[in-house]
Amino acid sequence: MLIGVVVVLIIIVIGLIIYNLNIHKKIQTFRNINQRITNLSVVQDFMNTIGETSSVDDKIKKMNEILIEKYEIKYSTIVVFDGTEYIVKASNVDNRHWDSLRKMQDVEMFKDSIATATPKYVTVNNEKEKLPYQQMEFGRAKSAIFFPLYIDNVYIGYWIIESGVPHDFDNVDITVLEVIKDNIVSILKTVVHQKTLESIVRKDLFTGLYSEEYLYGEGKRLIDQYTMSTVCMFKITNLEAINKKYSRELGNKVVTDVSKFVQNLLAEEYVFVRYMGPKFVIVFSGVEVSGVADFINDKKDSIESLKISLKDEETRRSVTKYVTNIKFCNIYIL
């Protein structure tokens, strides 16, 4: 009888073990599904961030905020090399610690991580120790994971997450963090083209107006604040003739005087840029096309009748020339 009881108990124990393993497997499956849902949610938030009409730097900061919120990361810092120096693009760490955060590439333990494109986990064993890269700080971070960032095999910087608890990342799923890192790289790669546009925006030498690239960056952000805007392009059609008949100096003065005159007619919220050569673009923010047409027709004659003069350096006399046939065209609603 005793043997029978033992056999029954063994069967029960085996049954419980199988049941617990099954439960554990289901819990793990649930965690994986939950993690995938979180990852998909983060990716979706990233995509929404890319679509926002904000600057590249603002997008990177928003992306870092999403990481901190979704994955409950204590400290997250993204550092990018701009070709001359390392810049902290996004961080929730107090900026008095940024000097050490942008020098990670000089820390010996991270050099191998950068060379091999692999993450590096560092931690301390007790509260009295500090991480090797920390200079003036002791209590803020006690464990960290360093991820080098690459775009098409080109090293561009790093992402580092930190915790104030020793060994806090001992059991973290590094594969999940690798996915996050890849998402960061994807976002940086996506916005690099916008950054290029932002960096080539310049002010025209003669008029002081922004170049056409302004319309695709900061200008677009301002315009998109309105539900409807109207774009107008106008051209000084006889500018080339003025340059040939008189001088390029007079032609330059025509451009500056006309642009100043038009600028004084425009409200502060309108965007006015020199598109190229004799062409200019005005974006009438929040104005319908009918209102713009009336405005242009009203001001066209006064612009075309401007008297642009240039002093003759030989005779020291004022030689007055006239600007004619300033043509407005291509009026359409954004």
Q: Tell me what the mean pLDDT of segment 162-183 comes to.
A: 84
Whole-number pLDDT of residue 49: 57
Please report, rounded to a whole number, the percentage of residues in the chain having pLDDT higher than 90.
9
Q: CB of 332 within 8 A of CB of 233?
A: no
Q: Are 246 and 184 in contact (CB under 8 A)?
A: no
Query: What is the Cα–Cα distance from 166 to 13, expressed in whole angstroms?
Result: 38
Tens-place pLDDT, residues 24-74: 554 444 444 344 445 545 556 665 655 555 566 777 888 888 888 877 788
Higher pLDDT, 11 or 112: 112
Express each pLDDT in 208-217 by its tens digit.
888 877 777 6
Q: What is the pTM for the complete model shown?
A: 0.54
User: What is the pLDDT, as a whole number, of residue 328?
Assistant: 46
pLDDT (0 to 100) of residue 12: 65
Residue 197 has pLDDT above 80, yes or no: no
| Distance between CA atoms of residues 311 and 42, nearest Å | 64
The residues, ordered by sequence, that sit 6+ positions from 119 with a Cβ below 8 Å of its Cβ are 113, 145, 146, 147, 148, 174, 177, 178, 181
pLDDT (tens digit per residue) in 291-315: 888 788 778 777 877 777 776 554 4
Residue 321 pLDDT class (50, 70, 90 cuts): very low
- Compute the distance between CA of residue 178 and CA of residue 119 in angstroms, rounded to an integer: 8
* pLDDT confidence band for 123 (50 / 70 / 90): very high
Q: What is the mean pLDDT of the chain?
A: 76
**pLDDT score of 324:** 42
Model pLDDT, residue 48: 63
More confident residue, 36 or 222: 222
